[in-house]
Every structure is written in C-alpha cells, then in structure tokens.
Amino acid sequence: MSRSFNLITPYDGKSAEFNSLEGARNAIFLAGPCPRFDFGTDWRLDAFKALERLNFKGTVITPTNPNYKKMESDFSYSADSALARQTAWEREAMSLASAIVFWIPRTSALPGFTTNIEFGEWFRKPRVFVGWPDGAEKTRYLACKLAEVGKTRFTTLDSVLQAAVNSLDTPPTMWFTSDTHFGQQRTLELSRRPFPDVLSMDLEMISNWNKRVTMNDTVVHAGDFVDPESLEARLPYLLSILNFKSLIWVMGNYDRDHIDKIMPIVKSSGRDINIRIDDYRFTSESPKNSFVVVHEPNDFPIHASPDDIILFGHIHGRAFAKTNGFDLGTDYHHYAPISLEQVNWFANAMRYWDYNVKSPSANVVYESKRNK
C-alpha cells in the first residue's frame, strides 16, 4: 500500500530480527494500548488514515506486533526473549522519535497497563502529545499529571495527530551542542555522566536532540561527536536518524585524528554536512552578536575580534564561563542541544558576569591559626 509516510513496525516475521530503525528521522511514535489478537480493532489504523489526510511526509512508528500470536510462546521477560527484544526495540524507537503521540482509548478489554508506564517515562519531554476520548476509563490521574507540566489533553485522535505534525514544521532555527561522544564508555566514566550504561546515555542524547531539532533546522556541533573506536559502525546510523537540515561539524580532538574515516561516511550519508577543521563563524541579527565556534578554548590560537563571543567545547562543562565566551558541551546543558535563543541569552548574561563568575579561584585569605 502506498502512503505519504514511511511506516516502521517492530517485526515482519521474515527473520529472527526486529525491523531496523535506520533512517527513521522526522518520526512520530504511536504510543498507547495495543490489541493482542484482533488487530483489525487497532486505533492506529485510523491514525494512519488521519496522517495521510494531513499529508505527513516523515516516518510513523507503531509498536503493534502483527506476529504476536506466533511469538506468544516466547513472550516472557527472560533475556533475549521476544518480549525483551520488543521492549528494547520500543525503547530505542521512542528515543529517536521526533514526537510521541499517546492515544489512550482505555476500556476494561484494552487496559493499557504498559501505556501507564510509558506515559510516566515520557510525558514531561518536549513534543509528547497525549489524548483520550471522552468516556475512556481511569484517566483522571493522567489528566492530573498533564496539568502539572501545563500540557493539553486532546479529545480526538485527529486533533492530537494534528498537533504532533504541526510541531515538526516550525520556522528554521539553529541549535548548538558539543562533546556528545556517542558510544564512548570512557566519556561515560570520566565525565561521571548519570547513566547506567552507554546505551542509556546515547538514547537520552538522541531523544533530547530529536525532540527539539526539526528537519528545518541547522545544528552546530563543536566536536567530539562519536567514539572513534566504534565510528565506522555507529556514525552512519546516527547520521541516518538525527534530525537536521544542515549540520556544521567543527572537528574536535578525537574527530581530527580520524578525519580519513569520517569524510567517506559523511559523503555517503547524502546529507548536508559541513566539516570545519578549525572554527565556524556566524552572526545573529536580533540581537546582534558575533560568534566563533571552536572545539578547544585554549590549546590553539583563535582568530577573532575583541567583540566576538567564543563558543567552545572540550571541557565538558567543568568551567562554563570565560570572560569572552562559554561552553556548549552537552554535559552542562542537560545532554541536549541549546537553541540560538539560548545562546543569545547567555551572550547577554555575560555582560553581568562579575569576578565571582570569572575569577580563577575563590578569594580565600589563608590564616596561620584558626581563631579560638
């Protein structure tokens, strides 16, 4: 069947593997109760029709598994069971999704117990939209939690899908980040990132990227994008699922050492990626600020005017403020890109940073004796 969008389902039964999510950028994940047996009753069939009417051109991801009956004997939570593998697939899919739509037509026959858990994990994130029809059972607590974060509950499937689609078609802007180090165990440990493992770290950064950046936007990355040890395996996948219209990648110290491997992958990705070895310069018009983006703030000469604001990475948020710039590192910014509006906000705030911010050490008067 021809559709305006690309549809990804978890499993097609043709092999033991779940379907790849590669290329699933600009994606909407359809979360909510799934039928176990009568798949003709799945509300997602109506969602597909609605997204066609909306002429959605991205990717739609459904967790409904049409091979559930065939796999039921393996649906335990033991390691590498069908259920464990589907759960892992859904986790990755919800992370890379640009928007998540929860539609919850809850009844006693369709209780949505798993949906409750997923709602609790995701409802605070950007571009997560939630709705249920009037008369849906046991939804008062969900309504209470939505009110806590100022989110609207939608009452029709069409309206919640419309909101999701609209959110992905916004005016272009710029986003900034640095030192993601996707896939790197060393960074997880040395930077004390608050994740139990590398996979959790990567999925959080991917989710924070895709639920902010759209396919209309430009991302400026100030270097050290991915673990060089897994570069050839990991980078093609990342470039296939991360949202951006254009990526400006200023090489970090790890990146420069592997430029011969990076360039062919970038070229074969078919995407608009501008590799910058030293720096990237740009000006924002409102307010008027001029910036120079580099990786290391001190190891190399930075050619800039006295009025330029230096945006850098490399130090992983260990000293955010300098007299003439600040850190873009993802460690400082909650593992998410920051917008041009935020960059300009910090540029304005710099005018008010005093010696308490910029001094190299605290102003301690050392005493030979402690006062008694």
SS (H, E, C) 234-255: HHHHHHHHCCCCEEEEECCHHH
Residue with tokens 């209780």: 111
Confidence (pLDDT) at 109: 85
What DSSP state is assigned to residue 182? B
Confidence (pLDDT) at 27: 98
Which of 165, 163, 160, 123 minimizes the C-alpha distance to 141?
A: 123
Cα distance between residue 344 and residue 214, in whole Å: 20
Confidence (pLDDT) at 100: 98
* Contact in structure between 298 and 319 (CB atoms under 8 Å): no
Confidence (pLDDT) at 85: 84
DSSP count for the chain of H helices, then E strands: 13, 16
Confidence (pLDDT) at 14: 67
- Set out the domains of the chain in order of their start, with CATH numbers: 6-167 (3.40.50.450), 174-357 (3.60.21.10)
Mean pLDDT by 10 residues, the chain (372 residues): 88 76 96 84 95 97 78 63 86 98 93 94 98 96 97 97 98 98 97 97 98 98 97 97 98 97 98 97 94 95 94 93 95 98 96 88 78 56
306 CA to centre of own chain: 35
Q: Which residues contact 332 (CB under 8 A, 6 or more apart)?
A: 316, 317, 320
Confidence (pLDDT) at 325: 95
Confidence (pLDDT) at 75: 58
